[in-house]
Amino acid sequence: MTAPIADDHDDNRLSAEDRRGLYRAILSRRDVRGQFVPDPIPDDVLARVLVAAHWAPSVGFMQPWSFIVVRDAAVRGKVKAAFDRANAEAAQMFEGERRDLYRSLKLEGILDAPLNLCIVCDRDRAGPVVLGRTHIPAMDLYSTVCAVENLWLAARAEGLGVGWVSIIDETALKAILGLPERVVPVAYLCLGRVSGFHAKPELESRGWRQRLPIEGLVAFDAWQGAMPAGDALADALRQAQAAAEDGRLGG
């Protein structure tokens, strides 16, 4: 029997403890490159984070994702070689001190992590006409990215680090993993237990980029639509961003 909808909308909120845990996972999630330890991921833990990814929202409930668990050292070696080629090319796209800083960054943990995972999108899974994808064909790709985020947050809750390897030639990756033409590799991830998580994103602490103020990213009714004068949301946004920076969001 379906439970009746509560009259008090606050009854639909998670408990205060659960909210704090959710926001903590969001705020402390990091792109991990160099803190992996060799301990294997227990199967029950890996199963939980994969199921969390599978429970992601998808347009038209198409569920276009599949998960390729990569444990084989030879396969990972090929992926690492493909990364090295792409990374050398990428370094040449920056100049001067920016290039030097780029080269000093560790941008993957392909061989360091105990396993890799490629989350792919099967663009034909739900057929040629899909509810919600009729006018924006990329909605299957966007849905797959939701699965990536679900997995990342679940992994953080389990104490696992995740690193997204995006500096790689897609054609090379498809060949290494034997992907059919219709299947798109959306995220190649490194997973494993870690020695610790950085207090801030590494690219922020290393001076590559800084986090943008949230109030400058919120518009009203149109691109760059100004916030109405005296709108209380402005103060609320500043307070929420300050709470996030202090690790208090949702507390």
Instruction: Map out the domains of the chain as residue ranges.
Output: 29-211, 212-242
| Interatomic CA distance for residues 61 and 134, integer angstroms | 14
**pLDDT at 115 > cutoff 50:** yes
**pLDDT at 88 > cutoff 60:** yes
CATH superfamily, domain at 29-211 = NADH Oxidase (3.40.109.10)
- Cβ-in-10-Å burial (0-12, 13-18, 19+) of 222 comes to exposed
CB 75 within 8 A of CB 1: no
Give per-residue pLDDT as tens, 182-232: 999 999 999 999 999 999 999 999 999 999 999 899 999 999 999 998 999
Categorize the per-residue pLDDT at 18 as very low, low, confident or very high, splitting at 50, 70 and 90. Answer: very high
Give per-residue pLDDT as tens, 137-188: 999 999 999 999 999 999 999 999 999 999 999 999 999 999 999 999 999 9
Question: What's the confidence (pLDDT) of residue 213?
Answer: 93
CB 37 within 8 A of CB 193: yes
Categorize the per-residue pLDDT at 250 as very low, low, confident or very high, splitting at 50, 70 and 90. Answer: confident
Spell out the residues 6+ positions from residue 249 whose beta carbon is closer than 8 angstroms to its own: 23, 26, 27, 240, 243
Q: Compute the mean pLDDT over every residue in the chain, rounded to the nearest whole number.
A: 95
| Interatomic CA distance for residues 224 and 231, integer angstroms | 16
Question: What's the confidence (pLDDT) of residue 247?
Answer: 87
Q: Which two tokens stand for residue 99?
A: 């290039």
**pLDDT at 9 > cutoff 70:** no
**pLDDT at 1 > cutoff 70:** no
Question: What's the confidence (pLDDT) of residue 107?
Answer: 97
Q: Does the pTM exceed 0.75? A: yes
Give per-residue pLDDT as tens, 164-175: 999 999 999 999
| Interatomic CA distance for residues 89 and 104, integer angstroms | 15
- Mean per-residue pLDDT for 76-105? 98
Q: Which two tokens stand for residue 131?
A: 């509810």
Share of the chain above pLDDT 70, in %: 96
**pLDDT at 5 > cutoff 50:** no
Question: What's the confidence (pLDDT) of residue 241?
Answer: 95
DSSP state of 36: B
